[in-house]
């Protein structure tokens, strides 16, 4: 397999709403560049990038697929990312390593919420970008209208590079404003492209749009601007350099007309990407930190520099094996090299190196700075980790994944499968770090959290198919808290046991008072005159703490209580730590029930982004979930609703939100505080707890 230098590499990712045609575009690109000998389709389940059984069955991408072609002696690495928001983590990690983001939008539907969500990350990372308006062969295609939406909702710097000669089912030609030619394509399964002069009726439109394009290029650089004024246009090197710097600075977002299904507009897009998309060198140095000193260093894309790479994806497939996919930021890699995992402080030896096209892999002897490749699964290295030369211990910027928006509890169908489940879920997390797993000792449940119901369902299915363990995904218990609102002045309990020989004796008087919310627990020793000897007082506190952990009303932790030990008695022979511990816990229980006990529930801050037309439905739904609307902002055609909602009302909320907004609503959530549960709901919670205890 040929090796490529950084100047001859282009790295980009296809992003956008589900169903926009990213996988189909990638498929036709592979065919057009001669990497494959036929064009697969999503419907037939035979595309290069969607190869897992789940992807084939669902007809959606669930995993980012690294692909590559050679075009005009340049290696184009491109990543086909999922469009479904459950798998946004795959998009984020891909954008972390590419040099250009290419948003794909549908010509009939325009800019959809999934595209806007991923575009937010393009802006966050300051990535150069381009836009493909796909499916111009749709009978309802509205290229100009969609282009205006792109300008309005994604970037005001969107600038047309190619536009359709005619739209709809007869779409087979584009006007290319770089070549100033009409390009007619022979279809997706052919590579035929006919270059002709621009028809007279489109000449003026083409000239006006080219002038706009050239002016935008000129505006990005003073020297080029001067040339533009001198010569009235830009040609050759001036156009190449100007276009590149305009794309890098973000002052141009080129827009292409395309139909993946008909193979229209693919080869001229490949030409443009090869000629004008920035190489890893063009993007400039990356800021990293030295492990020992936290000192910031700049890592240049230099194949002769010290080695530094970052793993951005892990693959664990039965037929592919375990692979770590990475980008080399500096230096040159070879199989057998020893590198330091600077994130984990471990040494790793690199095995075989590969370049990937979906599940197909080709072995490669060396990988140079700027390139993307894979290595046979490493021992201690995970997604996001940095590997570097031992004398260059840098850590590259971490990949920041979003907080989960949905949670479920794993319930094994058979006993004894716990180890297999833990191992399987660990692998699923490796492949998609936005799916997190932890055992919650308070709830005694294994909780899986992620970005959507489909993502959690996929994890359950993988456990069955790969590890042969069956589990149910159930609603997680809610981590309620218990506290008091009143004061118990004297909660007394005497623990006395006589059973031949030495007995047990412990006797305490406690005072219970509420503390301000969030203060936790305070224990006060107010014993005077040694009525409870000092050696037993820690046992009293321990007894109180233990019963607070177990809870009184619902088995939930007790919080925000001040307990004062102010009196008691002891027996010189029968008193011991155990007796005082028991007395303290029983006295606390008695006092707690006298002091106006209440249940507290976790309240979450949620931020919901929805199109205008669904705002009323969403706000009504939030209110029905006992939510409190805090405020609203508008962001283009979207409304941002901020609210506080009890966690118990948020189970599967992301799924419900999608259903009431036709898939166009999204939300994020974050823990806010604990709040008292309304009395009628409190009674229900206590009743359910008692019932569950009886069934155990």
* CATH topology identical between 406-474 and 601-681: yes
For residues 36-48, one letter each, b for 16 or more C-beta atoms within 10 angstroms of the residue's C-beta and e for the rest, the string is beebbebeeeebb
CB 14 within 8 A of CB 64: no
Percentage of the chain lying above the pLDDT 90 cut: 73
pLDDT in tens, 268-325: 999 999 999 999 999 989 999 998 887 899 999 999 999 999 999 998 876 666 899 9
At the top level of CATH, the class of 286-395 is: mainly beta
33's CB contacts (< 8 A; 6+ apart) are 69, 70, 71, 76, 270
Q: How far apart are CA 623 and CA 48, in angstroms?
A: 46
- The whole-number average pLDDT for the span 108-112 is 91
CA distances from 294 to 339, 396, 397, 473 (A): 20, 11, 12, 42
Sheet containing 321-330, strands listed edge to edge, beginning at the edge strand earlier in sequence? 346-349, 338-341, 386-388, 308-317, 321-330, 372-376, 353-357, 360-364
pLDDT of 329 strictly over 80: yes
At the top level of CATH, the class of 601-681 is: alpha beta
> Measured at the alpha carbon of residue 410, what is the angle toward residues 408 and 416, in degrees to the nearest 5?
175
Q: Chain-wide mean pLDDT for the chain?
A: 92
At the top level of CATH, the class of 482-595 is: alpha beta
Bridge partners (DSSP) of residue 100 are 12
pLDDT at residue 371 in the model: 97
Residue with tokens 């589990």: 471
pLDDT in tens, 566-586: 999 999 889 999 999 999 999
Bridge partners (DSSP) of residue 387 are 309, 341
Sheet containing 488-497, strands listed edge to edge, beginning at the edge strand earlier in sequence? 488-497, 504-514, 561-569, 521-525
Report residue 625: phi and psi, to 5°.
-95, 20
Bridge partners (DSSP) of residue 143 are none
pLDDT at residue 422 in the model: 87
Fold classification of 406-474 (topology level): Alpha-Beta Plaits (3.30.70)
pLDDT in tens, 183-199: 999 887 788 999 999 99
User: In the numeric block, which tokens belong to residue 516?
Assistant: 């301000």
Q: How far apart are CA 408 and CA 401, in angstroms?
A: 19
**Helix (H/G/I), strand (E/B), else coil: 383:** coil
pLDDT at residue 319 in the model: 64
pLDDT at residue 311 in the model: 96
pLDDT in tens, 131-144: 999 999 999 999 99
pLDDT at residue 318 in the model: 67
CB 428 within 8 A of CB 462: yes
Per domain, the residue ranges of the chain are 6-276, 286-395, 406-474, 482-595, 601-681
pLDDT band at 230 (very low <50, low <70, confident <90, very high): low
Percentage of the chain lying above the pLDDT 70 cut: 98
pLDDT at residue 696 in the model: 66
User: In the numeric block, which tokens belong to residue 592?
Assistant: 């707690």
The alpha carbon dihedral of 46, 48, 54, 59 has a sign of negative
pLDDT band at 69 (very low <50, low <70, confident <90, very high): very high
pLDDT of 557 strictly over 70: yes
Query: What's the CATH architecture for 6-276?
Result: 3-Layer(aba) Sandwich (3.40)
pLDDT in tens, 388-397: 999 899 999 9
Q: What's the farthest any 2 CA atoms get from each other in the chain?
A: 113
């Amino acid at each position: 397999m040929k090796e490529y230098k950084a100047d001859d590499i282009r790295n980009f990712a296809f992003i956008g709403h589900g169903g926009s045609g990213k996988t189909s575009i990638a498929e036709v690109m592979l065919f057009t560049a001669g990497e494959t000998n036929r064009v697969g389709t999503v419907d037939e389940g035979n595309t290069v990038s969607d190869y897992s059984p789940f992807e084939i069955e669902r007809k959606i991408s669930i995993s980012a697929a690294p692909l590559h072609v050679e075009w005009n002696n340049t290696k184009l690495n491109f990543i086909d990312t999922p469009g479904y928001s459950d798998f946004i983590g795959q998009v984020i990690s891909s954008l972390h390593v590419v040099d250009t983001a290419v948003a794909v939008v549908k010509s009939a539907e325009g800019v959809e919420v999934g595209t806007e969500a991923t575009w937010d990350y393009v802006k966050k990372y300051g990535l150069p970008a381009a836009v493909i308006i796909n499916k111009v062969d749709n009978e309802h295609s509205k290229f100009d209208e969609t282009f205006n939406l792109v300008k309005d909702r994604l970037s005001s710097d969107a600038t047309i590079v190619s536009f359709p000669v005619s739209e709809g089912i007869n779409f087979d030609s584009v006007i290319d404003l770089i070549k100033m030619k009409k390009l007619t394509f022979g279809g997706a399964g052919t590579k035929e492209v006919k270059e002709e002069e621009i028809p007279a009726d489109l000449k003026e439109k083409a000239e006006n749009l080219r002038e706009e394009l050239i002016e935008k290029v000129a505006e990005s650089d003073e020297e080029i601007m001067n040339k533009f004024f001198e010569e009235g246009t830009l040609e050759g090197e001036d156009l190449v350099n100007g276009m590149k710097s305009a794309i890098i600075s973000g002052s141009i977002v080129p827009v292409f007309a395309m139909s993946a299904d008909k193979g229209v507009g693919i080869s001229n897009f490949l030409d443009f990407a090869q000629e004008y998309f920035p190489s890893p060198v063009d993007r400039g140095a990356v800021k990293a930190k030295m492990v020992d000193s936290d000192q910031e260093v700049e890592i240049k894309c230099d194949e002769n520099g010290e080695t530094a790479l970052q793993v951005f994806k892990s693959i664990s497939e039965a037929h592919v094996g375990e692979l770590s996919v990475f980008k080399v930021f500096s230096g040159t890699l070879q199989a057998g090299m020893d590198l330091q995992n600077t994130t984990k402080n471990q040494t790793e030896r690199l095995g075989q190196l590969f370049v990937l096209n979906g599940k197909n892999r080709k072995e490669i002897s060396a990988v140079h700075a700027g390139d993307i490749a894979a290595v046979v699964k490493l021992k201690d290295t995970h997604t996001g980790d940095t590997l570097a030369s031992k004398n260059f211990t840098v850590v590259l910027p971490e990949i920041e994944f979003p907080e989960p928006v949905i949670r479920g509890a794993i319930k094994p169908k058979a006993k004894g499968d716990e180890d297999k489940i833990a191992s399987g879920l660990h692998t699923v997390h490796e492949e998609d770090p936005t799916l997190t797993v932890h055992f919650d000792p308070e709830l005694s449940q294994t909780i899986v959290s992620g970005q959507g119901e489909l993502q959690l369902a996929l994890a359950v299915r993988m456990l069955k198919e790969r590890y042969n363990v069956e589990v149910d995904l159930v609603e997680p218990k809610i981590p309620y808290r218990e506290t008091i609102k009143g004061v118990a002045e004297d909660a007394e309990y005497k623990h006395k046991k006589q059973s031949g020989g030495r007995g047990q004796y412990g006797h305490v008087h406690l005072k219970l008072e509420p503390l301000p919310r969030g203060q936790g627990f305070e224990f006060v020793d107010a014993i005077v005159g040694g009525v409870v000897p000092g050696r037993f007082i820690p046992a009293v506190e321990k007894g109180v703490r233990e019963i607070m952990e177990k809870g009184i009303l619902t088995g939930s932790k007790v919080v925000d209580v001040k307990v004062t030990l102010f009196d008691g008695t002891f027996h010189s022979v029968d008193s011991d730590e155990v007796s005082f511990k028991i007395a303290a816990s029983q006295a606390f229980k008695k006092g707690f029930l006298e002091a106006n006990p209440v249940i507290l529930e976790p309240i979450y801050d949620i931020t919901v982004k929805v199109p205008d037309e669904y705002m009323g439905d969403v706000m009504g739904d939030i209110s029905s979930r006992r939510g409190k609307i805090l405020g609203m902002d508008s962001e283009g055609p979207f409304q941002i609703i901020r609210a506080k909602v009890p966690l118990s009302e948020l189970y599967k909320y992301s799924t419900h939100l999608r259903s009431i907004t036709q898939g166009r609503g999204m939300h994020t959530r974050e823990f806010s505080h604990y709040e008292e549960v309304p009395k009628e709901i409190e009674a229900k919670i206590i009743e359910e707890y008692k019932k569950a205890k009886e069934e155990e």
